[in-house]
A and B are shown apart, each in its own frame.
Chain A
Amino acid sequence: MDLVKIQKQDFSVTEEIEQVKALSKNIGGVVVFLGTARAISKGEEIVSLNFEHYPGMAEKKLKEIRDTALKNFNIIEMGIVHRIGTISIGENIVLIVAAAQHRNDAFMACEWAITELKRIAPIWKRETTKKGEVWVEEHP
Chain B
Amino acid sequence: MVIKIRFFAMLKGKIGREEVNLTVPANISLDKLKDILKNEFPAIAEFIDRRNIMISVNQEFADKNIIIKDGDEVALLPPFSGG
Q: Is there an interface contact between A123 and B82, defined as CB atoms closer than 8 Å?
A: yes
A50-82 to B contact mask, C-beta < 8 Å, 1/0: 011110111010000000000000000000001
In the assembled complex, the CB of B50 is this many whole angstroms from the nearest CB of chain A, namely 10
Answer whether residue B42 sits at the interface, using C-beta atoms and an 8 A cutoff: no
CB within 8 Å of A: which of B39-65?
A: 52, 56, 59-61
In the assembled complex, the CB of A62 is this many whole angstroms from the nearest CB of chain B, namely 9
Q: A56-B59, A60-B59, A135-B13 are in contact. Are A124 and B83 (CB under 8 A)?
A: no
Q: A52-B9, A57-B75, A124-B8 are in contact. Are A119 and B59 (CB under 8 A)?
A: no
Distance, CA A35 to CA B9, complexed state (A): 21
| Number of chain B interface residues as a range | 10 to 19
Q: Is there an interface contact between B83 and A137, defined as CB atoms closer than 8 Å?
A: no
Q: A54-B77, A60-B59 are in contact. Are A135 and B10 (CB under 8 A)?
A: yes
Q: Is there an interface contact between A94 and B82, defined as CB atoms closer than 8 Å?
A: yes
A residues less than 8 Å from B13 (CB atoms): 135
Q: Is there an interface contact between B82 and A121, defined as CB atoms closer than 8 Å?
A: yes
Distance, CA A126 to CA B11, complexed state (A): 13
Answer whether residue A8 sits at the interface, using C-beta atoms and an 8 A cutoff: no
Q: Is there an interface contact between A114 and B83, defined as CB atoms closer than 8 Å?
A: yes
Answer whether residue B81 sits at the interface, using C-beta atoms and an 8 A cutoff: yes
Q: Is there an interface contact between B77 and A123, defined as CB atoms closer than 8 Å?
A: no
Distance, CA A58 to CA B13, complexed state (A): 20
Who on chain A is nearest to B12 by CB?
A52
Q: Which residues of B pack against A, CB within 8 Å? A: 6, 8-10, 13, 52, 56, 59-61, 75, 77-83
